[in-house]
Structure 1
Amino acid sequence: MIKSTPMKLGFVIPLKSKRVSRNWRAVCDCLEATLCSLKNQSSGQWYAVVVGHEKPPLQWESLPDNIEWCSSEHELPPIREGGSFTNHTDFDYILDIRRKISTGMRHLQTKQISYWSLLDADDLVHRDFVLTLDQLPHQAGWLVKSGYLWYQDLQRWMPTEQLINLCGSTAIISSSVFEVPYSNQDTDLHQIPWGRISHSGMEDFLIPYLKGADPTFPLAGIAYTLSHGDNCSDEFRHSYKARIKLWIKKRLLTRALNPAFARDFSINCQCD
């Protein structure tokens, strides 16, 4: 479909609360890296909003005007008796994410957004991500099926063709497919694909709207950040076998950071 109006991509970045985080400094550092990768986009056809409970101590005034902060409208969901917010099974963290996505979408609603993208607050966006989307025909959505795993602790990376099964930042969905929720009530939140559909299930969700079009995004556009000290997946790697498998992958299957990868994903840049 030919685009009749300029494409605008809206990134919504739900940020975990300081109360939920096991390492708030790591959360803030990762968000800064994510925002740097947006700041260095080769196209300006985008907006981004970070939605959270506590505003990280970043140099917000040095960021471009199309990156905004929005305070969460709700308290964290209640914690179960005897539980801890740092354990994601002890409270409804999916509800917290969905509320923040809904709040962020309403915040950007006046920007005439063509596509929406949920972006995890620790993932990196290829510098030509928005430019590539702008050059594509408009359709119901695109899926970033290939990308990279970025091991921040080792400054090493590896390509993957299974990104859509690993990372939540892989779906780009047209604003024509769903309505921005009017509120954060459960009935309105159900309109949001993210939160009720897993990232690996997004292709099945989009198929009825695609009318036979291929949703594969033609750029390995996302670097999924791992091993930064506050990954949700770290909670489940307690077994000796799991730790050994991770060590082998990180040490033997990855590649050292090089100038091209650093440039494409704004690695170690400063947002000032």
Structure 2
Amino acid sequence: MLIFCIPLRSKEVSKNWNKVSKLFNRTLESVYNQTNPDFRVFVACHQIPTLDRAYDDRVQFIIVNTKIPITYLDMMDDKDSKIYHCQNAARKYLIEQNCEGAYFMNVDSDDLISCKIADFVANKATKQVYTSRHGYIYFEGLTYMKKARRLERTCGSCFVIYLSVNQLPHNDQGFLLNNIDKCPFTPHHSDIWHKLINIKKWSHGFIPFATTIYIVNNVNVSNFANHQIGKNRRLEYRFELRRKISHYEKEFNINQNTYL
């Protein structure tokens, strides 16, 4: 089974809540578009946005009552906390289903995800950690995307990791504060490779297709601080081949006329 965890920023800190909601709807549809039905989606948020369509019980919203973030650091802490709320809810679900564990994928609320990931997990996954072989970066407003190698350096929506029930948080924020090193799926994607593969020596593999379209816009939390789109980050993909969006409409449930 594959479990997606999506943290959604609050309305109070959104410059344009309508745009945030539209981007989230696009993300949720791309996640839900999996070709294999063996997946669950947990979304942690302060308020549920208006949805463009109905979803079945594989999608669950978790309303949090934590403090509304103000600064960039507060926003990153809020994102971390919401991911752990998703994992906590996933733990309860897995116990109810008598499952020992599942593969997890954190997804930013504006990124787009391939429809083939759940099928890969169900039929080919044998390693503890997977990263995307490559992905795409889309600058909102253009009619093409750029192919990027090592997208996990820039985007957090690129890791699929197996976690047992015992490795998942069991008491919300207390687990996050007191046991951060015990739960291996840190939401800080820059740490995952070093922590799990280099130090813990977890088995690793690459997903042999593009898993993610990283969206660059003015509502992303990281972009809020101009963190992800600086000069050094651009060097990783500025010379890569451009791809028309139309080539990936089916795989990522996207087209250039939808919120782009």
User: Which bin holds the TM-score, normalised by the shorter protein?
Assistant: 0.7 to 0.9
Contact 2:104–2:160 (Cα < 8 Å) also in 1: yes
Corresponding position of 1:263: 250
Q: How many angstroms does 1:231 deviate by?
A: 2.3
Q: How many angstroms does 1:233 deviate by?
A: 4.4
Larger radius of gyration, structure 1 or 2?
Answer: 1
More strand by percentage = 2
| 1:30-41 correspondence to structure 2 within 5 Å | 30-41=23-34
* Amino acid in structure 1 at the alignment position of 2:219: D
Corresponding position of 1:65: 57
Q: Which runs of 5+ in 2 are unaligned?
A: none
Q: Distance in 1 between matches of 2:125 and 2:252?
A: 24
Q: How many angstroms does 1:88 deviate by?
A: 1.1
Q: Distance in 2 between matches of 1:194 and 1:34?
A: 21
Q: Distance in 2 between matches of 1:146 and 1:104?
A: 26
Corresponding position of 2:150: 162
| SS state at 1:134 partner | helix
Q: Distance in 1 between matches of 2:226 and 2:86?
A: 32
Q: Distance in 1 between matches of 2:163 and 2:223?
A: 34
Write out per-residue CA displacement over residues 78-120 of structure 1, whole angstroms, 9 at most, x where no aligned residue. Answer: xxxxxxx2x414xx22321222112111212223341111111
Q: Distance in 2 between matches of 1:189 and 1:262?
A: 38
* Amino acid in structure 1 at the alignment position of 2:86: G
> TM-score with structure 1 length normalisation?
0.78
Aligned residues: 242
> TM-score with structure 2 length normalisation?
0.81
Corresponding position of 2:162: 174
Q: Distance in 1 between matches of 2:243 and 2:37?
A: 31
Distance 1:69 1:214, change over 3 A: closer
Contact 2:147–2:241 (Cα < 8 Å) also in 1: no
Q: Distance in 2 between matches of 1:161 and 1:145?
A: 7
Backbone CA RMSD of aligned residues? 2.9
Corresponding position of 2:82: 100
| Amino-acid identity (%) | 25
Corresponding position of 1:225: 215
Corresponding position of 1:80: none
Q: Distance in 2 between matches of 1:145 and 1:129?
A: 12
Q: Which runs of 5+ in 1 are unaligned?
A: 1-7, 78-84
| SS state at 2:13 partner | coil
* Amino acid in structure 2 at the alignment position of 1:65: D
Write out per-residue CA displacement over residues 230-268 of structure 1, whole angstroms, 9 at most, x where no aligned residue. Answer: 123444559xx96xx89x959x9633322x311110014
Question: In the alignment, does 2:143 pair up with 1:151?
Answer: no
